[in-house]
């Protein structure tokens, strides 16, 4: 194997990891929310809010890490709306999520005007410092490490953490119980509302972090429409991943790999319409997942509002 | 009682809307009253209105440029243009309608307003209309289009001359005839200087499309892959995706070429990697059409194709020091030849393939 080949492999892996990261954050959020029984179509909107407020936080405080904190808070705050509508008011969860998506894109373009006095996009801001040169010097894996950023580490760390919380802790058991059979959980003294609120807000915080990984990583500004449907891809990854953190991560990685591959494939010089290449990630993801995942089972009470005292 | 109250409230709100409109136009009116009045007697006074698309005033690009054209008219002819901002698609038609009632010439800025323009122009056959970037075939509408391929040709020359290894890339937004115009012109420009470098563009080996105009991160990934494969200059015609191209260029210490506006000014933190930008002068378009209308030779029903000859496309005023003077001189020579008509710049990919490069020294 020659050097150029290895380098291009590293480039593809790097690109895969970078592109998978925001998806993984949002998908983890989706897993928590849906495991507790609340469908979260609003991931896209929460990503958008996170992306915007990450840039705003970095812009105002000149500290990109505070921008990341802003993003998490903004995502969580948006999720409070979703939680209130779907848990408290028992609204149709798909409608509430859709409303959040519409609301997020409108409010961010309005705030862009008010806070930045700009149309369409903000100016560039500081992004979290990543010691590229230092990482590049690490033997063997240095070539890959310098291609990625902190978010990639955080995302994979969170997958492990989420897996642990959901399957090895009492809290995880409660979350799963609330999503499967809220009445049974309720009779055992678990507060269904509290768990659901917690999970929906957590999903917003995760999606907000995902938003920061879109606007404050390789990119250093917010632009309208920059989230470009990643929230919906993440939502699909939740389903394909069978509502499991590791499964969702796998689905995100497959999609991101296919995306990285199609970018390279555009240069093969096949005379195909570019729309064909754009479709590759979706087609590959579907084929792989349909072939390997098999039947997925959603949490039994997913999307069903819980009515206390109802028979 | 309740009904009356709600009616009064609704009425007040509607009134408030109009008050808003009135105030908005105030600053544009009476900016230069003294100068205006002197020239007033020389020309018959016509009223001009303009409706922006969602970008609105202050977008530093398309709409602002269109308004700048009218501001020049205001200075030269002393008329007071009325400007309405459209915040949503469904405001295009009412805005144009309102403008058409009170004005003689109405501009619709942006291809998205084509349908609305068509409807309003049909309903007001005695009024004149101008639309930018799209064609509306009606006897009272002038369509203002740009020869983006001619401008792209010149930045192609710059790219080919500045590239050290002769590997040049192109990143497009959505693969469509409009963006292919940029691509075709660019290929022809590169081909004229370095036919070898154009081969990978023609075969689309060094061409990437994002299938989006707003996915900044996708632009980064596309450009990074191109730079990794050896390209050292990339021209983008991809809106917000281009920001990602600039970011990749910054990281990899390579060059990129901007589009539409002078992007070294609009994206200041990328100015070191932007060789130059291919700019579209929408202001010249609105100015020309207004001037024609003033002089009584409004070209209704026609489509203006504004290119290098009209000085409506070209290389931005801000040029990176990495571009040598010799390169700019060469680009200017090509510009002169294109204006003379001795080089016909291709506007489709097929034409670009059969384009015979003309070498100038």
Asked if B216 and A19 come within 8 Å (Cβ–Cβ), the reply is no
> Shortest CB distance from B59 goes to which of A120, A223, A225?
A120
**DSSP alpha helices (H): ranges in B124-240?**
148-162, 177-193, 195-202, 216-228
Residue A18 lies in a domain: yes
Q: How far is B272 from chain A (nearest CA, A)?
A: 14
Residues B112 and B259 in one domain: no
List, in order, residues 6 or more apart from A227 with CB less than 8 Å away. Answer: A44, A47, A48, A51, A211, A214
Contacting residues of A for B220, CB less than 8 Å apart: 218-219
Q: Is the pLDDT of residue B335 over 80?
A: yes
Quote the tokens at residue A5.
Answer: 């080949």
Residue in B175, B207, B221 closest to A15 by CB: B221
Q: Which two tokens stand for residue A151?
A: 């978010």
Please indicate, yes or no, if residue A233 is contained in any of the structural domains.
yes
The chain B residue lying nearest A12, using CA atoms, is B225
Assess whether pLDDT exceeds 90 at residue A311: no
**pLDDT recorded at residue B347:** 93
Q: Considering its fold, how many domains does chain B have in total?
A: 2
Phi then psi dihedrals of residue B141, to 5 deg = -120, 135
**Which CATH number do you get for residue B162?**
3.40.50.2300
Q: Is B110 on the interface with A (CB under 8 A)?
A: no
User: Rounded CA gap, B93 and B84, in Å?
Assistant: 12
- Residue range B296-309, pLDDT digits in tens: 888 888 898 999 99
Give the DSSP per-residue string, chain A: --HHHHHHHHHHHHHHHHHHHHHHHHHHHHHHHHHTT---TTHHHHHHHHHHHHHHHHHHHS-HHHHHHHHHHHHHHHHHHHHIIIIIS---HHHHHHHHHHHHHHHHHHHHHHHH--SSBPPP-------HHHHHHSTTTHHHHTTS-HHHHHHHHHHHHHHHHHHHSHHHHHHHHHHH-HHHHHHTT--HHHHHHHHHHHHHHHHHHHHHHHHSSS--S-BTTTTTTHHHHHHHHHHHTTT-HHHHHHHHHHHHHHHHHHHHHGGG-----HHHHHHHHHHHHHHHHHHHT------TTTTPPP-TT--
Judge whether B8 lies within some domain.
no
Residue A268 lies in a domain: yes
Q: pLDDT band at residue B11, thresholds of 50, 70 and 90?
A: low
Looking at the fold, whether B56 and B158 belong to one and the same domain comes out as: no
Cα dihedral across residues A181, A183, A187, A192: positive or negative: positive
Q: Which of B31-40, B49-58, B141-150, B328-337 has the lowest mean pLDDT?
A: B31-40
For the stretch B220-254, pLDDT in tens is 999 999 999 999 999 999 888 999 999 999 999 99
Is residue B44 pLDDT above 80, yes or no? no
What share of chain A has pLDDT > 70, as a percent?
A: 99
Q: Are residues B256 and B338 in the same domain?
A: yes
Annotate B251-277 with DSSP letters as a single string: HHT-EEEEEES-HHHHSGGGTTTEEEE
Whether the per-residue pLDDT at B55 is higher than 50: the answer is yes
- pLDDT at residue B60 in the model: 62
The band of B61, judged by pLDDT with boundaries at 50, 70 and 90, is low
Q: Is residue B4 a part of any domain in this protein?
A: no
Measured between beta carbons, the chain A residues lying within 8 angstroms of B214 are: 223-226, 228
**Rounded Cα distance, B106 and B98, in Å:** 10
Same domain for B240 and B201: yes
d(CA B312, CA B304): 11
| B227 has a chain A CB within 8 A of its CB | no
Residue B322 near residue B349, CB atoms below 8 Å: no
CB contact under 8 A, B243 and A223: yes
* CA atoms of A152 and A136, how far apart (whole Å): 16
Q: What is the mean pLDDT of residues B181-192?
A: 95
CB contact under 8 A, B269 and A124: yes
Asked, for residue A107, whether it belongs to a domain, the answer is yes
Asked if A78 contacts A104 with a C-beta cutoff of 8 angstroms, the reply is yes
Contact status, residue B196 vs residue B166, Cβ threshold 8 Å: yes
Sheet architecture: strand order including B233-237: B207-209, B168-172, B233-237, B255-260, B274-280, B313-315
| Residue B95 in domain | yes
- B53 with B170, same domain? no
Is the pLDDT at A100 greater than 60? The verdict is yes
CB B210 within 8 A of CB B236: no
In chain A, the number of structural domains is: 1
Residues B163 and B266 in one domain: yes
Q: How high is the pLDDT of residue B252? A: 93
Asked if the structure places residue A214 within a domain, the reply is yes
Using the Cβ of B26 and the Cβ atoms of chain A, whether some distance falls under 8 Å is answered with no
CB distance B58–A119 less than 8 Å?
Answer: yes
Residue B33 placed within a domain: no
A192 touches chain B (CB under 8 A): no
**Residue B73 in domain:** yes
- The mean pLDDT value for B289-293 works out to 89
Looking at beta carbons, which residues of chain A come within 8 Å of B179?
A: none
Instruction: Give domain status of residue A299, yes or no.
Output: no
Indicate the pairing of strand B141-146 with strand B168-172: unpaired
User: Do the Cβ atoms of A268 and B55 come within 8 Å?
Assistant: no
Tell me the average pLDDT across A295-305: 86
Residue partners of B201: CB distance under 8 A and separation at least 6: B168, B169, B170, B183, B186, B187, B190, B207
Which pLDDT value is given to residue A81? 95
Tokens 């970078």: give the residue: A18
Which of A12, A120, A232, A277 has the most B C-beta neighbours within 10 Å, making it the best mutation to test the interface with B? A120
- pLDDT attached to residue B25: 39
> Does the beta carbon of B59 lie under 8 angstroms from any beta carbon of chain A?
yes
Task: Choose from A278, A281, A282 for mutation: most chain B CBs within 10 A.
Answer: A278
What is the rounded radius of gyration, in angstroms, for the C-alpha atoms of chain A? 20
Q: Which of B214, B221, B240 sits opposite A263 (nearest CB)?
A: B221
Dihedral sign of CA atoms A216, A221, A224, A229 in order: negative
Same domain, B63 and B204: no
What does the block give as tokens for B156?
A: 């192609």
A227: left (phi over 0), alpha (psi -120 to 50) or beta: alpha
Give mean pLDDT, residues B57-75. 80
My answer on whether B100 and B242 are in the same domain is no
Which domain range does residue B153 map to?
A: 148-273+320-354
Given a contact cutoff of 8 angstroms between Cβ atoms, the answer to whether B221 and B244 are in contact is yes
Which range among A149-158, A279-288, A292-301 has the greatest average pLDDT? A149-158
Nearest chain A CA: its distance from B248 CA (Å): 8
Q: Is residue B236 within 8 angstroms of chain A, CB to CB?
A: no
Q: Does B89 touch chain A (CB under 8 A)?
A: no
What's the pTM?
A: 0.84
Indicate whether B40 pLDDT > 50.
Answer: no
The CATH number linked to A215 is 1.10.3470
Residue B231: inside a domain: yes
Q: Which token pair is A102?
A: 């519409």
Sign of the Cα pseudo-torsion (A164, A169, A172, A173, in order): positive
Give the confidence band of B58 by pLDDT, cuts at 50, 70, 90: low
| Greatest mean pLDDT among A113-122, A125-134, A211-220, B69-78 | A211-220
Over residues B73-97, the mean pLDDT reads: 86
> Has residue A208 got a pLDDT over 70?
yes
Tens digits of per-residue pLDDT, B170-181? Answer: 999 889 888 999
Q: Is B228 an interface residue toward A (CB < 8 Å)?
A: yes
Contacts of B242 (CB under 8 A, 6+ apart): B171, B219, B236, B256, B258, B259, B263
Residue B26 belongs to a domain: no
> CA nearest A79: which of A50, A115, A109?
A50
**Quick one: pLDDT at residue A49?**
97
**B69, part of any domain:** yes
Rounded to an integer, the average pLDDT of A205-223 is 95
Looking at residue B260, what is its pLDDT? 86
Q: CA distances (Å), B269 to each of B2, B27, B148, in order?
A: 57, 32, 26
Do B228 and B244 have their domain in common?
yes
Same-domain check for residues B81 and B158:
no
CA distance A243 to A162: 12
What's residue B35's pLDDT?
A: 44
For residue B20, pLDDT beyond 80: no
Q: What are A144-193's pLDDT values in tens digits? A: 898 899 999 999 999 999 999 999 999 999 999 999 999 999 999 999 99
Encoded tokens for B206: 């060094």
| B113 and B67 within one domain | yes
- Does residue A267 sit at the B interface (CB-CB below 8 Å)? yes
Residues B95 and B169 in one domain: no
- Asked if residue A139 is part of any domain, the answer here is yes
A15 touches chain B (CB under 8 A): yes
Beta-sheet pairing, B313-315 with B274-280: antiparallel
CA torsion, ordered B117, B121, B122, B125, to nearest 10 deg = -170
Test A260 with B221 for CB contact under 8 angstroms: yes
- Which own/partner pairs from B340-343 qualify as long-range (CB within 8 Å, at least 24 positions apart)? B343/B153, B343/B192
Question: Residues of A with CB below 8 A from B222's CB?
Answer: 263
Task: Show the domain range for A164.
Answer: 3-292
Q: Is residue A140 a part of any domain in this protein?
A: yes
Return mean pLDDT, chain B.
Answer: 86
pLDDT tens-place string over residues A31-72:
999 999 999 999 999 999 999 999 999 999 999 999 999 999
């Amino acid at each position: 194997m020659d050097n150029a080949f290895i380098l291009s492999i590293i480039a593809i892996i790097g690109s895969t990891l970078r592109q998978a990261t925001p998806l993984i954050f949002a998908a983890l959020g989706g897993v928590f929310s849906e495991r507790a029984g609340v469908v979260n179509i609003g991931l896209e909107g929460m990503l958008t809010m996170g992306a915007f407020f990450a840039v705003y936080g970095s812009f105002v405080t000149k500290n990109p890490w505070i921008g990341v904190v802003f993003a998490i808070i903004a995502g969580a705050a948006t999720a409070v709306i979703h939680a209130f509508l779907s848990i408290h008011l028992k609204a149709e969860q798909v409608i509430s999520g859709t409303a959040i998506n519409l609301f997020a894109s409108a409010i961010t373009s309005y705030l862009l005007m008010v806070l930045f006095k700009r149309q369409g996009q903000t100016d560039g801001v500081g992004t979290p410092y990543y010691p590229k040169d230092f990482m590049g010097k690490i033997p063997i894996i240095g070539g890959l490490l310098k291609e990625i950023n902190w978010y990639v580490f955080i995302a994979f760390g969170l997958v492990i953490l989420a897996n642990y919380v959901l399957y090895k802790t009492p809290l995880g058991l409660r979350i799963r119980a609330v999503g499967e059979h809220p009445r049974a959980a309720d009779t055992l003294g678990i507060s269904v509302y509290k768990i659901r609120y917690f999970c929906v807000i957590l999903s917003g915080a995760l999606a907000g972090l995902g938003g920061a990984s879109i606007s404050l990583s390789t990119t250093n500004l917010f632009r309208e429409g920059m989230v470009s449907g990643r929230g919906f891809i993440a939502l699909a990854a939740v389903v394909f991943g069978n509502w499991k953190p590791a499964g969702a991560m796998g689905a995100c990685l497959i999609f991101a790999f296919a995306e990285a591959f199609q970018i390279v494939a555009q240069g093969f010089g096949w005379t195909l319409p570019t729309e064909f290449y754009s479709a590759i990630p979706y087609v590959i993801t579907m084929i792989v997942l349909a072939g390997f995942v098999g039947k997925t089972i959603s949490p039994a009470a997913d999307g069903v509002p819980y009515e206390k005292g109802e028979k | 009682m309740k009904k009356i109250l709600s009616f009064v409230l609704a009425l007040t709100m509607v009134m408030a809307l109009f008050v808003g409109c009135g105030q908005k136009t105030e600053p544009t009116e009476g900016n230069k009253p003294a100068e205006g009045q002197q020239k007033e007697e020389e020309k018959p006074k016509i009223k001009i209105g303009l409706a922006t698309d969602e970008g609105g005033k202050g977008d530093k690009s398309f709409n602002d440029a269109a308004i700048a054209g009218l501001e020049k008219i205001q200075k030269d002819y002393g008329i007071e243009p009325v400007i309405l901002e459209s915040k949503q698609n469904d405001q295009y038609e009412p805005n144009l309608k309102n403008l058409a009632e009170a004005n003689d010439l109405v501009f619709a800025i942006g291809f998205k307003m084509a349908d609305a323009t068509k409807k309003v122009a049909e309903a007001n056959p005695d009024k004149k209309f101008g639309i930018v970037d799209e064609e509306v075939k009606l006897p009272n509408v002038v369509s203002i289009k740009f020869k983006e391929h001619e401008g792209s040709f010149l930045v192609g020359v710059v790219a080919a001359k500045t590239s050290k290894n002769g590997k040049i890339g192109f990143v497009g937004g959505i693969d469509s005839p409009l963006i292919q115009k940029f691509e075709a012109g660019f290929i022809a420009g590169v081909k004229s200087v370095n036919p070898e470098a154009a081969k990978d563009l023609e075969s689309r080996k060094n061409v990437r499309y994002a299938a989006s105009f707003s996915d900044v991160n996708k632009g980064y990934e596309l450009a990074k892959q191109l730079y990794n494969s050896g390209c050292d200059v990339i021209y983008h015609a991809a809106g917000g995706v281009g920001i990602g191209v600039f970011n990749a260029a910054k990281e990899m210490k390579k060059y990129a070429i901007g589009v539409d506006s002078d992007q070294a000014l609009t994206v200041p933190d990328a100015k070191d990697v932007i060789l130059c930008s291919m700019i579209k002068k929408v202001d010249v378009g609105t100015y020309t059409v207004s001037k024609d209308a003033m002089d009584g030779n409004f070209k209704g029903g026609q489509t203006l194709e504004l290119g290098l000859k009209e000085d409506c496309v070209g290389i931005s005023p801000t040029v990176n020091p990495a571009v040598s003077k010799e390169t700019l001189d060469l680009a200017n020579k090509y510009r002169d030849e294109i204006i003379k008509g001795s080089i016909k710049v291709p506007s489709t990919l097929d034409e670009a393939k059969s384009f015979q490069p003309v070498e100038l020294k």
